[in-house]
Amino acid sequence: MTTHFITAEVDLQETPSELQQVIEAELQKQGEPLRWAITSVDEEQEKATVEAVVTLAE
């Protein structure tokens, strides 16, 4: 098992719970998320940047 630091960009959602679901789904594409945080928000583009640590089974 290895860990990786990744950055993802997701569209902002109507509610925080929807945003959390979208973020977790996007991170699942890269591996199993250990932790993540929204590090910036671009209000004009309506995008959030997420940094995360994920694990991958080898």
For residue 31, give the DSSP letter: S
Q: 0.85 cut: is pTM over it?
A: yes
Tell me which residue has tokens 């932790």: 35
- Stretch (H or E) spanning 11: strand 2-11
Predicted confidence at residue 5, as pLDDT, reads 97
pLDDT by residue (tens digit) across 33-54? 999 999 999 999 999 999 999 9
Q: Mean pLDDT score of the chain, rounded to an integer?
A: 95
Q: Does residue 58 have a pLDDT over 80?
A: no
- H-assigned helices in the chain: 16-28
Domain boundaries, the chain: 11-52
Contact criterion met (CB below 8 Å) for 23 and 10: yes
**Measuring CA to CA, which residue among 1, 11, 7 is closest to residue 51?**
7
Q: Does residue 1 have a pLDDT over 80?
A: yes
